[in-house]
Amino acid sequence: MANITVPADYSKELKTEIAVDQVTYKVGGNKMAVLRDFSGGVCYVVDAKTNEAVFSGEATGPIFDPANKIEVYHFDFTPVNECGEYYIAASYGISYNFSVSVSPYRELTNAMVKALYFQRCGMALEEKYAGEYAHPECHNFPAYLLDDPDTVIEDVSGGWHDAGDYGKYITPANQTVFNMMYAYELFGDAVGDQLNIPESGNGLPDILNECKYELDWMLKMQAENGGVYHKVSTEQFAGNQLPHEDIVELQCISPITITATGGFAAAMAAAYRNYKKFYPEWSDKCLDAAKRALDYALANYKDHKEFKNVPPCVTGGYGDLCCLDEIYWGAAELFRATGDKKYEDIFREFHSMKFSKTAFGAYHQGGHGSLCYLLCDNADPELYSVVKAEVIADADKSLEIYENDGYNVCLAPPTETEEGDYYWGSNAALTNSLANMVTVAVVDKTDKYDEAIADSISYLMGRNYISKCYVTGFGSNPVMNPHHRPSMFDGVDAPVPGLIAGGPNDRKWQRPTCVKGVKQSEGIDWDAMPPAGCYIDWEWNWTANEITIYWNSSCFYITGYLNSKNK
């Protein structure tokens, strides 16, 4: 490959139209750039240190991208296997820098787990773990029950702030601890160890240490009758404040919901299994909590209604019409944890009801239950093969979306009848659908989906319409202004690292307009924006630029999987 030179008439201007994965090209792996507003021609890979070209080739295209309704070109540079820092040169300009490395998912995955430490509530973040993001303890206030204001619970401390706000909500917590415990059991040390958190070095993998911080809080959210309170927060969202500046006399606790309770049963049964060998007594408590929660959910689910805030509380809702998926998941986990066939009978009964058996997330959790069931060695063979066929069918549907996409990402495009996947939290819509592919990959021991999974992660790392790397602290054009109060008000330029933004959101009614006197939409022709372009890196753009614990967990579950395949 000697003596390749970029033609002198090639522009040196930075072009976000040339999209590269800014983080995760791997030695020996496939490598591709996506170019839009391009008319084809020879492209070069240039060493960013020496400015010497190391590879050249013709881009292929045009290829139709159905999500954004544009034509793109693909430039394949798979043969570039020397570790280093590079950029792409095309006739009309150059890309952001990217790197080629041996173990690209490792640092990223760990940082995304460590990001949860930065979300810890109720304890001071000390400088030795948190560096410039240190702050004193927060939110250690008693809380009253919104549906019984005379009852005050003294201690609901601990856990993580959910997102850019400081509320603590059970249903997203259930997904987050699920992703962590399954990442630990399926991918081992490929995800989240040596995180430099207070518990590091105590004999437990750090991902379990961090997860236990949340589980301990969750246990405080269970009522005597087994039901689980939906959330605890202040009555209003915090102002422009750091966590420890958000001071109230009393916080408030929202009523029990079945969605919170069913998912809690699942999470606690999984905790029993995963922590048994480290903390036997504590894990027995988890199992007992799980059983009582599932009993409560079964006795009350027919009265389930979508959660609505009880005044004067106005914080995050996480309302969910269907609670069957949470019970399905809870039954699966209790069956796996105990081997007791009575839980398999409940699982079977709920399996026959109508809801997605393949969805992962804070709202739809049937996929969590299916994965769990498919890992049981004493499962009923007939039911097992039905569930397996369901997850495979869904993974193959995702594969088809991926194969038709111009950016090689597994996000459904809008069609005449469907709105598509570029909604609030689209980056997690992506990782949640990849999670079902991971289920099949793990259960069926196939690598059929690996390329789709890795390519889709490349989209998150910058190979997208706007060349944005959606994880703070990573890539050459990362998110800098997430809607995340600590990052917004700490006086530190760089946001807390390892947080993934919600991502493009094409729903018209959720566009940012004018917040606090700042007219952010001015100068942006939103109607001309294709779905993957509906994003601005602006701190009050919470409909596209907020962060959450469960979006993080969904992402490191996938990069942890990729990392485990990369040994």
Min dist CB 198 to Zn ion, Å, is 16
Strand order across the beta sheet in which 251-253 lies:
148-153, 143-145, 251-253, 231-233, 168-169
138 binds, among ligand 9MR, Zn ion, none (CB under 5 to 8 A by kind): Zn ion
Min dist CB 547 to ligand 9MR, Å, is 8
Residue 252, beta-bridge partner list: 144, 233
Min dist CB 176 to Zn ion, Å, is 16
Min dist CB 561 to ligand 9MR, Å, is 23
364 binds, among Zn ion, ligand 9MR, none (CB under 5 to 8 A by kind): none
* Cβ-closest position to Zn ion: 121
Of 198 and 319, nearer to Zn ion (C-beta) is 198
Residue corresponding to tokens 């946001």:
495
Q: Which of 169, 164, 225 is closest to 496 using CA atoms?
A: 164
546 binds, among Zn ion, ligand 9MR, none (CB under 5 to 8 A by kind): ligand 9MR
Min dist CB 559 to Zn ion, Å, is 27
317 binds, among ligand 9MR, Zn ion, none (CB under 5 to 8 A by kind): ligand 9MR
550 binds, among Zn ion, ligand 9MR, none (CB under 5 to 8 A by kind): none
Distances (CA, A) of 497 to 242, 292, 384, 425, 480: 17, 38, 41, 18, 10
243 binds, among Zn ion, ligand 9MR, none (CB under 5 to 8 A by kind): Zn ion
Nearby residues of 93 by Cβ (< 8 Å), 6 or more positions away: 11, 12, 13, 14, 15, 17, 18
Backbone angles phi, psi at 170, to 5 degrees: -75, -40
Cα 439 from Cα 103, distance rounded (Å) = 23
Of 138 and 156, nearer to Zn ion (C-beta) is 138
For the residues of 157-195, what is the DSSP string, one character each? --SB--BSS--EEHHHHHHHHHHHHHHHHHHGGGSS---
* Cβ-closest position to ligand 9MR: 316
Of 89 and 121, nearer to ligand 9MR (C-beta) is 121
b/e 420-439 (16+ beta carbons within 10 angstroms → b)? bbbbbbbbbbbbbbbbbbbb
143 binds, among ligand 9MR, Zn ion, none (CB under 5 to 8 A by kind): none
Of 243 and 366, nearer to Zn ion (C-beta) is 243
Of 139 and 468, nearer to Zn ion (C-beta) is 139
Of 486 and 533, nearer to Zn ion (C-beta) is 486
Per-residue 3-state assignment (H helix, E strand, C coil) for 427-474:
HHHHHHHHHHHHHHHHHHCCCCCHHHHHHHHHHHCCCCCCCCECECCC
Min dist CB 362 to ligand 9MR, Å, is 7
121 binds, among ligand 9MR, Zn ion, none (CB under 5 to 8 A by kind): Zn ion
Binding site for ligand 9MR (CB under 6 A): 162-163, 165, 167, 316-318, 424-425, 542, 546, 548
Min dist CB 323 to ligand 9MR, Å, is 17
Of 278 and 424, nearer to ligand 9MR (C-beta) is 424
Maximum alpha-carbon separation in the chain: 80
For the residues of 73-109, what is the DSSP string, one character each? EEEE-TT--S-EEEEEEETTEEPPPEEEESSHHHHHH
Nearby residues of 323 by Cβ (< 8 Å), 6 or more positions away: 257, 258, 259, 262, 297, 301, 304
Cα 528 from Cα 506, distance rounded (Å) = 11
Min dist CB 123 to Zn ion, Å, is 9
Of 41 and 317, nearer to ligand 9MR (C-beta) is 317
Of 24 and 552, nearer to ligand 9MR (C-beta) is 552
Q: Indicate the DSSP class of residue 483.
A: B
409 binds, among ligand 9MR, Zn ion, none (CB under 5 to 8 A by kind): none
Distances (CA, A) of 548 to 250, 296, 373, 427, 462: 24, 28, 27, 11, 19
424 binds, among ligand 9MR, Zn ion, none (CB under 5 to 8 A by kind): ligand 9MR
Residue 417 burial by Cβ neighbours in a 10 Å radius (0-12, 13-18, 19+): exposed
Min dist CB 557 to ligand 9MR, Å, is 18
Min dist CB 217 to Zn ion, Å, is 11
Binding site for Zn ion (CB under 5 A): 121, 138-139, 243
Of 161 and 273, nearer to ligand 9MR (C-beta) is 161
Of 350 and 423, nearer to ligand 9MR (C-beta) is 423
Q: Which of 115, 126, 130 is closest to 191 using CA atoms?
A: 115
Min dist CB 138 to Zn ion, Å, is 3
163 binds, among ligand 9MR, Zn ion, none (CB under 5 to 8 A by kind): ligand 9MR
